[in-house]
């Protein structure tokens, strides 16, 4: 079951650790009062602190600290009541001060863990090494001018949490599962929106390979991978590259690489080639960050139920299977939708409906459970209740959903307008059955000769004759009687 | 008495009684600047028009019976405080074109209280120096002259030499400075005026061009102890924009100047008696002890055992912080730019041409001590010694209320005398650096003249937030010393 | 003590300072001299001493999460040696 890369001389194990940069949800920046909204006009969300003007000084945003603490708690991690900000010194066009304020020696959050689910239904703990707060850099645009790069400092100073995992990940699937799970937890906590397209969540993937049982070999860091799929592809591509180098008698150099999704390979970042010496030292503009235990406790008390706890509860409280539960808790909006709908309804039916026809419809509309505009909880409730009280049958429900998408009407309006109420009049059913049996006399003979699986065929024909509106139970009952 | 000879307290009195107007007071100083600045080069930028406009406003306010505690008082501002709309250079070529769109916290406090700014004063580039000779805008001349050799061009001390020279030569009633290793107290001593470096966190650093963040202390210069008290009261205060600013009330420092010394215990640090101290300093120090004893204080010897390590500690920590603080001068967002083949070349040319020799030396020193493999041996070690130096002061202040010491190991020296070897120049700060490392308040008061007729200062050091006791002791020294000598070059006197 | 010329060049590169060859030679001596002088700290016993990172003993004060700044690209760009539109402009950086 363990993933390995088959080399010429046997299998290679893949060892992966991840550093994820998650943008903290906050109104203003980590050390300045400028806004953090995505997509603002260039340099419109920049304070003179962000632009590192002479004499400008950082003042920390309490909410960003709270968000880091919440995230730490959500990762079952140790919260450090004493932490400190250090400067990481390097020159870059979009790093205005010539240093990034980060937490190097004393991060706010220490070790924790996160459980990922493997395809075989088992779970695996991935260790979290640390989480620290730091500033984002600005943005350079290299494609706007033939000989110039443009600098936009809107992102400069935006709060980030850098979440570092232990090298516990052993396959592309595990890497993907880790990132998905981390994103789920961050979204549950409301500490990061997890939007990878907008750069709110970026992964640096550290990959090395070794023969089973060996100590760790040199790792390479694949920087700024911006989707779960690319993370999985990058792990595989980079591991294969390293296996090939080792097997050819070469040596893997420790370096920073980039994943090229178009070609499915990683390549060296030449611009980062120069040996870095970041000269970390405590930022003298900031004194140590000292937190009250009581504050941590109050943040802990306000923490929402997290996906793993919710999943277990869904299984015990609603009697759902592990698989259904996992799918329903993947987004807190989906879980909330389920719980609203499952009130006074059969949880199993609700789960099936949500994960089946409803998910398909939302997909087609490009919506999610939390953003649903047409298939609101109320609309779904009406639909489920019509099935339950026999107004429509399950098959018709599918048609109702499609018609709702077309017309934008509510479910009851669609059923009324198209006359989709199911037929429970035994006389009408008996007429339809008689017609079908008369038409298919040869099949009736075969059935009576013992080919019993033709029963389904007769049901289908009767439902077709009744435009799908026959009450399935009654149709079965009448057919059984007439065929015996 | 001419208007340029007034102290701040006397000027407030005269302005309040309308004996003269703020405009007249400002004009007298502007005239003095026009007459003497071409020689002294105390100001990099003179803001005469703005000063007169502000003086008119002050006159209106005073006429209404309003006006803040410094209404109409003309001051000189060290060109390291960012001033809105007025070029701020920090004495560097790299900030030559820089016009801040903001006003530093300290200068904003002074403006709030009605002060009038005559201009921006010269300094060692980025405040790195003890002589005001490393400014990209030329050196400043000390208005004092040696009796024997009046031709020698003496340095005013540094880095706030322009401010000290301006106050001494009566070009301004008072001035602002910053003290990172002695840059207020040493020039005050060299120029025969008073200057105080308050406790770290007492004056906001917001809007002050940073040299070494954990050591930079804004503070005032005056021609007397009480003038400094009045200025500091305005400059000090909590600023939520500076995370190292301390939130506690600002006392009435002027009142502290009038307190008795009865019952105060004054420590004399044994380790400040260093070999090679210039003639006259030891005697003046002794005199200071007896003045304080006569005024009712009890004098005891104390020990600050790590004193000798102050300078090497300082010359690791300050350059390290500076190397990082000065990384922002890269030719992209403000200041000088020298174009290059690519961005790295642009950085290297801009910084190579924009910074002077001393600044480059310190940036390189700081980069080195923070670099991989050297951090523990230099920077971390220096931080630990700094802790011991702080502890020395804490131990001393457990037994005494304040310390008395010389401000500098010599009187003003001539330009070119100590410049070949950087370490020789650094030794100037031997008595001032420890208080910066410990963050404790310290003040220099002129106490006498050396054999050459040059002023010498005595230093009073207090415990953290002990500015009041510093003012009490400094005022007693001032009264006893009766220092009335005047520099050769000053407003209203014929140039020698 | 002098500093090796390649060390001077390496730290000058880290600090993004262009040095003339004559400056390198002078700095080998000067920096070497300063480093030799600070070596005297080796005489201080600092075992069990916590490093002092700042001159003020207090906990970091925190501000509220409200937007109080920004929204003024003109001020931010007002001192720029080179700007194009509302961007700072630098020689093209090749990634
Ligand atoms: Mg990283
Ligand atoms: Zn990071």
pLDDT in tens, B421-447: 777 778 889 999 999 999 999 999 999
Interface confidence: ipTM more than 0.90 = yes
Closest CB to B332: pick one of A59, A93, A285: A93
d(CA B18, CA B27): 16
Residue B177, φ and ψ in degrees, nearest 5: -145, 175
How close is the nearest chain C Cα to the Cα of A102, in Å?
Answer: 15
- Measured distance CA(A173)–CA(A193) in Å, rounded: 23
Element (H, E) at A409: none
pLDDT at B494 over 70: no
Co-location of A310 and A453 in the same domain: no
As given in the structure block, the two tokens for residue A105 are 């020696």
- How many CB atoms neighbour CB A249 within 10 A? 6
Report how far residue C59's alpha carbon sits from residue A60's, in angstroms, rounded to the nearest whole number: 12
Contacts A50 to C, Cβ<8 Å: 70
Both A330 and A477 in one domain: the answer is: no
| Residues B98/B334, Cβ–Cβ less than 8 Å | yes
CB-based contact (8 Å) between C85 and chain A?
Answer: yes
> Do A212 and A290 fall into the same domain?
yes
Beta strands in chain C (DSSP E): 62-63, 83-84, 87-91
Cis-peptide, bond into residue B239, ω within 30° of zero: no
Closest-CA residue of C relative to A145 is C92
From chain C, pick out residues whose CB is under 8 angstroms from the CB of B312.
37-41
**Strand duo A220-225 + A201-210: pairing:** antiparallel
Say how far apart CA B424 and CA B430 lie, in whole Å. 11
The kind and range of the H/E element at B365 are: helix B357-370
Q: What is the pLDDT of residue A2?
A: 81
pLDDT at B74: 98
Helix axes A62-74, A293-301, angle to 10 degrees: 60
Contact B142, B496 (CB under 8 A): no
**pLDDT at A273 (0 to 100):** 47
DSSP strand E in B145-256: where?
174-179, 194-197, 217-222
Q: Would you tell me which residues 268-297 of chain A have a C-beta closer than 8 angstroms to some C-beta of chain C?
A: 269, 271, 277, 279, 282, 284, 286-290
Closest ligand by atom to A102 CA? 2
45-74 of C, contacting B, C-beta below 8 A: 46, 49-56, 58, 60-61, 63
The one-character DSSP state at A30 is S
- pLDDT exceeding 70 applies to what percent of chain C? 99
Statement to judge: residues A283 and A374 lie in one domain? no
Structure confidence at residue A393 (pLDDT): 82
Distance CA A257, CA B102 (A): 42
- In the reported structure, the alpha carbon of residue A162 is separated from the centroid of ligand 2 by a whole-number distance in angstroms of 5
Q: How many domains does chain A have?
A: 3
Measured between alpha carbons, how far is B176 from A281 in angstroms, rounded to an integer? 30
Identify the CATH number of the domain in which residue A450 sits.
Answer: 1.10.10.410
Half-sphere exposure (Cβ direction) of A150: Cα atoms closer than 13 Å = 14
* Whether A251 and A285 share a structural domain: yes
Could you report the per-residue pLDDT of B294-339, keeping only the tens digit for each?
Answer: 999 999 999 999 999 999 999 999 999 999 999 999 999 999 999 9
- The whole-number average pLDDT for the span B383-391 is 98
Domains and CATH numbers, chain B: 3-259 (3.90.1300.10)
Give the mean pLDDT of B15-24: 96
Please name the residue that has the structure tokens 């209320």. B401
Handedness of CA A87, A88, A92, A94 (dihedral sign): negative
The pLDDT tens digits for A436-480 are 999 998 899 999 888 988 999 999 999 888 888 888 888 888 999
Chain centroid offset of residue A209 CA = 27
C68 touches A: beta carbon within 8 Å: yes
Are A62 and C64 in contact (CB < 8 Å)? yes
Q: Are residues A269 and A322 in the same domain?
A: no
The partner residue sitting opposite C65, judged by closest CB among A53, A62, A284, is A62
Pair (A278, A327) in one structural domain: no
Low-confidence ranges of chain A (pLDDT < 70): 1, 270-275
Measured CA to CA, the distance from residue A170 to residue A72 in angstroms comes to 24
Same-domain check for residues A212 and A87: yes
Instruction: Enumerate the residues of chain C whose CB falls inside 8 A of the CB of residue A44.
Output: 70-73, 86
Structure tokens at B238: 């909590």
How far apart are the CA of A19 and the centre of ligand 1, in A? 6
What is residue B496's predicted lDDT score, i.e. its pLDDT?
42
CA C17 to centroid of ligand 1, rounded, Å? 26
* CA gap B165, B133 in Å, rounded: 13
C37 and chain A: CB distance < 8 Å anywhere? no
SS3 assignment, position A82: strand
Structure-block tokens of residue B329: 């001068």
| Token pair of B341 as six digits | 């083949």
Threshold 0.90, pTM exceeds: yes
Let me know if B183 is a catalytic residue: yes
B496 and B145 in contact (C-beta within 8 Å)?
Answer: yes
DSSP SS3 for A199: coil
Structural domain for A461, as ranges: 426-483
Q: What angle do CA A255, A261, A267 make, to 5 degrees?
A: 25
**Subunits with at least 3 CB pairs below 8 A relative to chain B?**
A, C
* A279-297 confidence digits (pLDDT tens): 999 999 999 999 999 999 9
| Cα four-point dihedral sign A358, A360, A361, A367 | positive
SS3 B98: coil
CA distance A189 to A76: 13
Task: Give yes or no: residues A351 and A463 share one domain.
Answer: no
Residues 6+ apart with CB under 8 A from B394: none
Q: Using DSSP, how many helices (H) and how many strands (E) does chain C show?
A: 3, 3
> By the 8 A CB rule, do A329 and A307 touch?
yes
Cβ-Cβ contacts under 8 Å, A89 against chain B: 323-324, 327, 370
CB contact under 8 A, A62 and C90: no
Could you tell me how many CB contacts below 8 A there are between chain B and chain C? 168
Q: What is the mean pLDDT of chain B?
A: 96
Other beta carbons within 10 Å of B134: 25
Among residues B183, B234, B410, B444, the one annotated as catalytic is: B183
pLDDT number for residue A471: 85
Active-site annotation holds for B159:
yes
What average pLDDT score do residues C44-50 get? Answer: 96
In this structure, the answer to whether residues A291 and A147 fall within a common structural domain is yes
The answer to whether A252 contacts chain C (CB < 8 Å) is no
Please provide the distance, in angstroms rounded to a whole number, between the alpha carbons at the two ends of chain B.
21
CB pairs A-C closer than 8 Å = 138
Question: What's the pLDDT score for residue B114?
Answer: 97
DSSP code of C69?
B
Is the pLDDT reported for residue B87 higher than 70?
A: yes
Q: What's the gap between Cα B31 and its chain centre? A: 24
What's B380's DSSP letter? I
Q: Which of B131, B134, B159, B204 is catalytic?
A: B159
Residue A129 CB-half CA count within 13 A? 14
Residues A287 and A335 in one domain: no
Could you give the dihedral angle defined by the CA atoms of residues B2, B6, B12 and B16, in that order, rounded to the nearest 10 degrees?
-20
- Return the pLDDT at A270: 63
Verify that A452 and A310 share a domain, yes or no: no
Q: With beta carbons under 8 A apart, name residues in chain A contacting C62.
A: 59-62, 65
In angstroms, rounded to a whole number, what is the distance separating the alpha carbons of residues B227 and B173? 9
| Contacts of residue B128, Cβ cutoff 8 Å, sequence gap at least 6 | B134, B159, B211, B322, B358, B359, B362
Rounded mean pLDDT of B251-273? 97
Q: Which H/E stretch holds residue A149?
A: strand A148-152
Is residue B213 among the annotated active site residues?
A: no
The stretch B74-101 carries a mean pLDDT of 98
Q: Please say which residue of A233, A266, A296 terminates a domain.
A: A296
Q: Is the pLDDT of residue B367 over 90?
A: yes
Burial (0-12, 13-18, 19+ Cβ within 10 Å), B15:
buried
Choosing from A399, A418, A437, the residue where a domain stops is A418
**Among A252, A267, A296, where does a domain finish?**
A296
Tokens of A243: 């296996």
Q: What is the pLDDT of residue A353?
A: 94
CB contact under 8 A, B213 and A98: no
Mutating which of B104, B324, B335 best tests the A interface, going by the most A Cβ atoms within 10 A?
Answer: B324
What gap in Å lies between CA A303 and CA B240, rounded to an integer?
30
| Residues pairing with A258 in the sheet | A223, A267
User: How does residue B120 score in pLDDT terms, banded at 50, 70 and 90?
Assistant: very high
């Amino acid at each position: 079951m363990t993933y390995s890369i088959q080399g010429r001389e046997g299998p290679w194990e893949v060892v992966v650790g991840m550093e994820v940069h998650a943008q903290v949800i906050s109104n203003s920046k980590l050390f300045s009062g400028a806004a953090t909204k995505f997509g603002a006009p260039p340099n419109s969300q920049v304070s003179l602190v962000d632009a590192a003007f002479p004499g400008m000084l950082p003042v920390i945003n309490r909410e960003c600290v709270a968000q880091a603490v919440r995230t730490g708690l959500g990762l079952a991690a140790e919260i450090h009541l004493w932490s400190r900000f250090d400067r990481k010194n390097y020159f870059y066009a979009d790093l205005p001060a010539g240093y990034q304020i980060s937490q190097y020696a004393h991060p706010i959050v220490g070790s924790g863990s996160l459980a990922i689910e493997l395809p075989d239904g088992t779970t695996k703990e991935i260790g979290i090494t640390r989480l620290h707060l730091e500033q984002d850099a600005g943005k350079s645009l290299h494609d706007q001018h033939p000989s110039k790069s443009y600098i936009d400092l809107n992102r400069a100073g935006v709060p980030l949490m850098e979440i570092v995992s232990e090298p516990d990940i052993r396959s592309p699937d595990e890497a993907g599962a880790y990132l998905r799970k981390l994103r789920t937890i961050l979204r549950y906590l409301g500490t990061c929106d997890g939007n990878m397209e907008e750069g709110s969540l970026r992964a640096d993937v550290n990959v090395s390979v070794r023969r089973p049982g060996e100590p760790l070999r040199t790792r390479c860091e694949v920087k700024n991978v911006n989707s779960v799929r690319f993370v999985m592809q990058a792990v595989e591509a980079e591991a294969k590259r390293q296996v090939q180098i080792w097997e050819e008698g070469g040596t893997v150099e420790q370096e920073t690489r980039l994943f090229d999704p178009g070609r499915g390979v990683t390549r060296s970042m030449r611009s980062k080639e120069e040996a870095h010496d970041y000269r970390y030292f405590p930022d003298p503009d900031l004194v140590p960050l000292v937190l009250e235990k009581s504050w941590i406790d109050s943040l802990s008390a306000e923490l929402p139920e997290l996906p793993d706890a919710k999943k277990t509860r869904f299984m015990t409280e609603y009697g759902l299977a592990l698989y259904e539960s996992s799918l329903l808790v993947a987004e807190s909006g989906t879980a909330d939708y389920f719980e609203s709908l499952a009130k006074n309804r059969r949880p199993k039916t609700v789960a099936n409906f949500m994960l089946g026809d409803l998910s398909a419809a939302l997909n087609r509309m490009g919506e999610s459970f939390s953003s649903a505009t047409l298939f609101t909880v109320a609309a779904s409730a009406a639909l489920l209740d019509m099935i339950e009280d026999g107004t429509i049958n399950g098959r018709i429900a599918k048609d109702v959903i499609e018609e709702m998408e077309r017309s934008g009407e509510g479910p009851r309006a669609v059923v009324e307008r198209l006359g989709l109420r199911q037929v429970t009049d035994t006389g009408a059913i008996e007429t339809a059955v008689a017609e079908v049996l008369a038409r298919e006399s040869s099949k009736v003979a075969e059935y009576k000769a013992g080919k019993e699986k033709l029963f389904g065929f007769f049901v289908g024909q009767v439902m077709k004759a009744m435009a799908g509106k026959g009450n399935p139970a009654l149709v079965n009952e009448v057919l059984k009687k007439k065929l015996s | 008495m001419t208007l340029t000879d007034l102290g701040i307290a006397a000027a407030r009195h005269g302005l309040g009684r309308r004996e003269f107007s703020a405009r007249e007071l400002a004009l007298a100083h502007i005239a003095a600047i026009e007459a003497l600045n071409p020689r002294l080069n105390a100001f990099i930028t003179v803001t005469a028009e703005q000063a007169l406009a502000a003086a008119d406003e002050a006159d209106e306010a005073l006429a209404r019976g309003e006006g803040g505690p410094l209404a109409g008082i003309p001051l000189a501002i060290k060109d390291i405080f960012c001033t809105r709309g007025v070029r701020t250079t920090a004495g560097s070529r790299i900030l030559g074109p820089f016009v801040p769109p903001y006003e530093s916290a300290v200068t904003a406090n002074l403006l709030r209280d009605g002060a009038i700014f005559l201009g921006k004063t010269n300094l060692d580039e980025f405040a790195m120096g003890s002589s005001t000779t490393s400014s990209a805008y030329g050196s400043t001349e000390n208005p004092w002259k040696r009796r024997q050799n009046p031709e020698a061009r003496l340095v005013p001390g540094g880095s706030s030499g322009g401010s000290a020279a301006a106050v001494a030569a009566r070009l301004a009633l008072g001035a602002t400075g910053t003290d990172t290793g002695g840059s207020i107290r040493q020039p005050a001593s060299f120029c025969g005026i008073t200057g105080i470096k308050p406790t770290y966190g007492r004056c906001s650093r917001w809007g002050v061009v940073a040299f070494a963040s954990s050591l930079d202390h804004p503070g005032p210069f005056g021609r007397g102890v009480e003038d400094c008290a009045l200025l500091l009261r305005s400059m000090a205060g909590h600023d939520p924009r500076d995370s190292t600013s301390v939130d506690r009330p600002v006392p009435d420092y002027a009142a502290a100047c009038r307190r008795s010394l009865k019952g105060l215990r004054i420590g004399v640090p044994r380790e400040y008696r260093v070999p090679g101290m210039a003639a006259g300093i030891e005697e003046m120090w002794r005199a200071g002890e007896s003045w304080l004893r006569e005024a009712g204080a009890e004098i005891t010897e104390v020990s600050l055992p790590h004193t000798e390590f102050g300078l090497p500690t300082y010359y690791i920590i300050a350059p390290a912080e500076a190397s990082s603080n000065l990384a922002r001068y890269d030719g992209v967002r403000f200041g000088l730019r020298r174009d290059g083949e690519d961005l790295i070349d642009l950085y290297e040319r801009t910084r190579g041409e924009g910074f002077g020799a001393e600044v480059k030396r310190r940036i390189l020193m700081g980069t080195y001590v923070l670099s991989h493999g050297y951090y523990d041996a230099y920077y971390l070690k220096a931080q630990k010694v700094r802790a011991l130096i702080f502890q020395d002061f804490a131990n001393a202040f457990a037994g005494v209320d304040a310390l008395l010491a010389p401000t500098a190991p010599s009187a003003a020296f001539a330009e070119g005398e100590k410049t070949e070897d950087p370490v020789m120049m650094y030794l100037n700060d031997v008595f001032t650096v420890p208080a910066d490392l410990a963050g404790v308040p310290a003040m220099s008061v002129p106490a006498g003249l050396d054999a050459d007729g040059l002023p010498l200062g005595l230093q009073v050091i207090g415990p953290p937030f002990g500015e009041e006791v510093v003012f009490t002791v400094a005022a007693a020294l001032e009264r006893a010393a009766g220092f009335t000598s005047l520099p050769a070059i000053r407003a209203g006197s014929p140039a020698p | 003590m002098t500093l090796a010329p390649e060390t001077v060049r390496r730290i000058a590169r880290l600090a993004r300072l262009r040095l003339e060859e004559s400056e390198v030679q002078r700095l080998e001596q000067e920096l070497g001299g300063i480093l030799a002088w600070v070596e005297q700290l080796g005489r201080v016993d600092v075992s069990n001493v916590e490093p002092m990172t700042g001159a003020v003993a207090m906990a970091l004060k925190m501000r509220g999460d409200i937007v109080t700044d920004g929204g003024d690209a003109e001020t931010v760009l007002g001192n720029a040696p080179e700007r194009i539109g509302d961007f700072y402009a630098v020689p093209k950086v090749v990634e």
